[in-house]
Amino acid sequence: MITSLNNIPLVLNIEVSFNLQSTTDKQTWRGQLVAVGGFDVANTYGDVLAVHNNMIPAVAKKEPVSLTYIVIRTADGALRPFATDWIEESTFSRTDNVEDIQVIIHNVNAAASANILGVIRDLGYEVTVVS
């Protein structure tokens, strides 16, 4: 199962925006990420097969039951499913208010530093090392 898009971890309750690789749907979708799952989850929120057939041919030929899906809550309160393969990855962005924090860790060796950074990444945060 896919766990990130465009280097953004798929964690619940973040605000996202993206465009689809669709032959008909050219809008930018925005909403709160409320679920990540398979076809069975996504199909309860909408007619996934109908939308899938409107994707560009390279995407539409994929088997919809084998894809990973996200569900977003749009501004009007609707819950809408999207396969991660439908999303034009370079357009996927996090739009909620996020801030950068700087953490300084003193007196650690390379192995301990790698372990600490791994734990932070596993929690879904983006890490940049500045030395």
All domains in the chain, ordered by first residue: 4-94 (2.30.30)
Per-residue pLDDT of the chain (131 residues; tens, 9 = 90+): 888 999 899 999 999 999 999 989 999 999 999 999 999 999 999 999 999 999 999 999 999 999 999 999 999 999 999 999 999 999 999 998 667 778 888 888 989 988 998 888 887 777 877 76
pTM value is 0.72
**Alpha carbon separation from 111 to 33, 87, 99, 119 (Å, rounded):** 34, 37, 27, 13
